[in-house]
Amino acid sequence: MKLASLPLTTYGFQLLMFGRRKEGLTPDQYRDHYENVHIPLMKNLTGDTFPLTHVRHYVKRDGPPDFPPAVLMGNQTDFDYDAVAVLTYRDKAHFDANWAFFEDEETSTLIKEDEEKFSAAQSKSLIFAGAGWGLVCFDQRR
């Protein structure tokens, strides 16, 4: 996927991702796979292009059977995601080097195979640079 160029600031370059767990997984199973399988795989595959930081926040959910989000404000339907990740890159060149792994057929296949084990078919991502929002928003899986 090609991304539009964005105005950059001295604050770096960030990607904000919203992820959903695969149907049939509990929130704990989703988190465990994301933390202990997916992130180590991504670090291994992308090496020194891995983001400077990859901070994951998980939506608190109540127990079974449906695991509804513990809502303080808003509605249950506002929380169709299970995790929010903030990835920070030095600059757009660092982001582009990391994103190249998603465009490489072999690496992309390995990533998609792992994502299919824990992640729902759609994820939402927003890109922003520094304190200002960027120009690209997409709602699709890599």
Give residue-wise pLDDT tens across range 60-98.
998 888 898 888 888 888 888 999 999 999 988 999 999
Mean pLDDT value of segment 6-19: 69
Highest mean pLDDT among 3-12, 73-82, 105-114, 119-128: 105-114
Asked whether the beta carbons of 92 and 8 are under 8 A apart, the reply is yes
Those residues whose C-beta lies under 8 Å from the C-beta of residue 104, and which sit 6 or more positions away, are none
Q: Which CATH architecture has domain 13-72+90-131?
A: 2-Layer Sandwich (3.30)
Mean pLDDT of 31-41: 98
* pLDDT in the model for residue 141: 43
pTM of the model: 0.81
Query: For the chain, which residues make up each domain, given as ranges?
Result: 13-72+90-131
In DSSP terms, which residues pair with 138 in a beta bridge?
125
